[in-house]
Amino acid sequence: MVGMMEGKAGLVTGSGSGIGRATAIALAKAGAKVMISDVSDEAGQETVQMIKDQGGEAAFFKCDVSNEEQVIELVNKTVETFGKLDFAHNNAGINKGLVPIGEMETKDWDITMKVNLYGTFYCIKHEVNAMLKTGGGAIVNTASGAGIEGSPNMAPYTASKHAIAGLTKSVALEYGQKGITINSIAPGATITPAIEHWAKTSPEQYQGVLSSLPAGRMSTAEEQANAVVFLCSDLARSISGVTLAVDGGYTAGKMQQ
């Protein structure tokens, strides 16, 4: 994908680790200038340094996406730093309230919605207005396999990710004729440090999950990032309003156990 994003500039939220970091690095490798955004200064600056060490261009702006004023500042800072906003990956998210809904604390529901759904809304709202000034752009949101199917003991997360998929479709209809595409990725089980730790501490559970995956393995953060880069690129200009499952076929159906 070298050169695929040459001359483009944009932002990635939640890019201090995981899928967000992998996406920011992949975008930079493809030639883009990337504004790194995260609630952690240390993690965000580390991503910037990783990109610079590989010859890419990046800057950092701390942002809590649940705060609309901070999102406005993030978008403005990106335009100020790079001159424009060609793409955005709205990736920041949390997963709180991992209990049946009858046992759930309302505060866990509220904060999950505030970060995942409201945060995505704030980002899209201000990103489209920046993109309209330069003739359009591409937005990719991070939904989830839990935004396609239900998931027990994850009601707020599942509801927020389903909502992101619907929001993506609506915005695609609103801005398609104005040069803006908007899509979502729906990551399935993806290797992260937490998953690697779980594999070591609960190997039987881990193997049980692996056996349910048609690909026979979990995705990597880099594979999720590749999907985002494609959707941000000019190769995907006719793709909009789609939630793309990047899950090795998991949501296609269930494996026989």
Enzyme catalytic residues: 157
- 8 A C-beta contact, residue 153 and residue 99: yes
Residue 42 CA to residue 195 CA, distance in Å, equals 22
- 8 A C-beta contact, residue 245 and residue 188: yes
User: Secondary structure of 216-254 in the HEC alphabet?
Assistant: CCCECHHHHHHHHHHHHCHHHCCCCCCEEEECCCHHHCC
Residue 139 CA to residue 231 CA, distance in Å, equals 8
Residue 67 CA to residue 59 CA, distance in Å, equals 20
3-state secondary structure at position 65 = coil
- 8 A C-beta contact, residue 12 and residue 26: no
Q: Residue 254 is encoded by which pair of tokens?
A: 């269930």
Measured between its terminal Cα atoms, the distance across the chain in Å is: 38
